[in-house]
Homo-oligomer: A and B are copies of this chain.
């Protein structure tokens, strides 16, 4: 099967004809179901048919039960037929990275050590999804414990290339039109990178926006929930459902929730000011990515800023925190079953076990000081704009590629979104990453929507 056949139409018109009903976006599908133009059953059946058609090749799913998905859809259709109030995602199928606990499906965390694991409760975000009428279709493939060792998923744009990781299946499922929405997580570059490689929208909100209760913990300081969709509008809708304080995740912010979906759909009061920030790793960009991005800078009138040398230490600080946190969070897996861990994960944990606590605390403070060093710029600019990765998805499935173009923003807990706006000669997508001020997620989404519209005009 040629690459193109897996993605044809994924960015096409979204009118819900029978042939491409699976490509309808979440916002429009929810509206059509609310209006009675289509049923939840129709929509889910179309997604399941798409999955049946191509998942043997893409391998996005760790667990799926089509009959159960249809049964949920039938109940939701009955619910609406009774005239009962319906939620914002009524009848919309959502895929969950297989590290998000569900009480009705296994959650295996990408490791044989957790094979067959059945959580007794839904994660907080799963409760929120179900309360809004979303249908949990199944669990998508993750790397080993959401770290580096790849799962079985292939890139739907070219099956010989990695989809990226660790939210591999979530990115691939959305990009290939199997579901309109999926949940992922990012501790380094695990939402932005696979979305960029697979050519779809990925949004990783500010640290503290979305509860991680019931989601595999690999780093309390760095783990952040993100979403996949095929439009900014849909990412805003899903994030809007997920945002909010949770007493079970003490790092979630207490405060008024932004109305993400509404603000994201507004036009900016003024044309947003955008800045490219030359990080210390900017020279690692591939040539084709550099050229495509230079063109984008001209079209969007993006200012250029240069980071101080002090930022060079950010990647090491991230590694110090991440490896120590991994060693803590996966202590039992390591102590009882290290022979079942990949060599790369064992290495991370073994380095993490040797990190000294004062160095760990210094790395945490370093991250905070770096963020403060950027905050002034984000008063002046609406967003930073950078490539989402070094370049296109690397060939081969042995590695999920480098997260380095996400590391700094994840370390600092800043909101980031990748948009599939560039393309290589080979036809593989390259994402454009917008990064905003911590807590200013709604403005970032609004700016992202403006960028998409602006490029569509040009």
- What is the interface of chain A, defined by CB distance below 8 A to chain B? 220, 254-255, 324-325, 327-328, 331, 352-362
| Choice from B220, B254, B331, B360 contacting A360 with Cβ under 8 Å | B360
Smallest CB-CB separation from A325: which chain B residue?
Answer: B361
Q: Top 5 nearest A-B pairs by Cβ distance?
A: A324-B357, A357-B360, A328-B358, A328-B361, A355-B357
Smallest CB-CB separation from A327: which chain B residue?
Answer: B358
| Choice from B220, B254, B328 contacting A357 with Cβ under 8 Å | B328
A361 to chain B, nearest CB (A): 4
A356 near B354: Cβ-Cβ < 8 Å: yes
What residues of B have a CB within 8 angstroms of the CB of A325 in the complex?
Answer: 357, 361
Interchain Cβ contacts under 8 Å between A and B, 16 examples: A254-B255, A324-B356, A324-B361, A325-B357, A325-B361, A327-B357, A328-B357, A328-B358, A328-B361, A352-B357, A353-B358, A355-B356, A355-B357, A355-B358, A356-B357, A357-B357
In the complex, the count of this chain's copies comes to 2
A361 and B220 alpha carbons, distance in the complex (Å): 10
A414 to chain B, nearest CB (A): 16
What residues of B have a CB within 8 angstroms of the CB of A358 in the complex?
Answer: 324, 327-328, 331, 352-353, 355
A329 to chain B, nearest CB (A): 8
What residues of B have a CB within 8 angstroms of the CB of A353 in the complex?
Answer: 356, 358
A354 and B255 alpha carbons, distance in the complex (Å): 39
Known: A328-B358, A328-B362, A356-B356. 12 other contacts (CB 8 A): A254-B255, A324-B356, A324-B357, A324-B361, A327-B357, A328-B357, A352-B357, A353-B356, A355-B356, A355-B358, A357-B359, A357-B360
A457 and B360 alpha carbons, distance in the complex (Å): 54
A206 to chain B, nearest CB (A): 14
What residues of B have a CB within 8 angstroms of the CB of A352 in the complex?
Answer: 357-358
What residues of B have a CB within 8 angstroms of the CB of A360 in the complex?
Answer: 357, 360
A328 to chain B, nearest CB (A): 4
What residues of B have a CB within 8 angstroms of the CB of A355 in the complex?
Answer: 356-358
A255 and B357 alpha carbons, distance in the complex (Å): 31
A353 and B358 alpha carbons, distance in the complex (Å): 6
A180 to chain B, nearest CB (A): 35
A318 to chain B, nearest CB (A): 14
B331 near A362: Cβ-Cβ < 8 Å: yes
Smallest CB-CB separation from A220: which chain B residue?
Answer: B361
What residues of B have a CB within 8 angstroms of the CB of A328 in the complex?
Answer: 357-358, 361-362
Smallest CB-CB separation from A253: which chain B residue?
Answer: B254
A358 and B327 alpha carbons, distance in the complex (Å): 6
Residue of A324, A325, A328, A354 with most partner-chain B CB within 10 A:
A328
A45 to chain B, nearest CB (A): 45
Residue of A220, A355, A357 with most partner-chain B CB within 10 A:
A357
A358 and B353 alpha carbons, distance in the complex (Å): 6
What residues of B have a CB within 8 angstroms of the CB of A327 in the complex?
Answer: 357-358
A104 to chain B, nearest CB (A): 27
A252 to chain B, nearest CB (A): 12
A110 to chain B, nearest CB (A): 21
A200 and B356 alpha carbons, distance in the complex (Å): 40
Residue of A255, A355, A360, A361 with most partner-chain B CB within 10 A:
A361
Smallest CB-CB separation from A360: which chain B residue?
Answer: B357
A138 to chain B, nearest CB (A): 32
A176 and B350 alpha carbons, distance in the complex (Å): 55
What residues of B have a CB within 8 angstroms of the CB of A254 in the complex?
Answer: 254-255
A352 and B361 alpha carbons, distance in the complex (Å): 12
What residues of B have a CB within 8 angstroms of the CB of A359 in the complex?
Answer: 357
A358 and B355 alpha carbons, distance in the complex (Å): 8
What residues of B have a CB within 8 angstroms of the CB of A357 in the complex?
Answer: 324-325, 327-328, 352, 355-357, 359-360
A362 and B330 alpha carbons, distance in the complex (Å): 11
A353 and B353 alpha carbons, distance in the complex (Å): 14
A346 to chain B, nearest CB (A): 14
A320 to chain B, nearest CB (A): 8
A368 to chain B, nearest CB (A): 9
A354 and B361 alpha carbons, distance in the complex (Å): 13
Smallest CB-CB separation from A352: which chain B residue?
Answer: B358
Smallest CB-CB separation from A321: which chain B residue?
Answer: B357
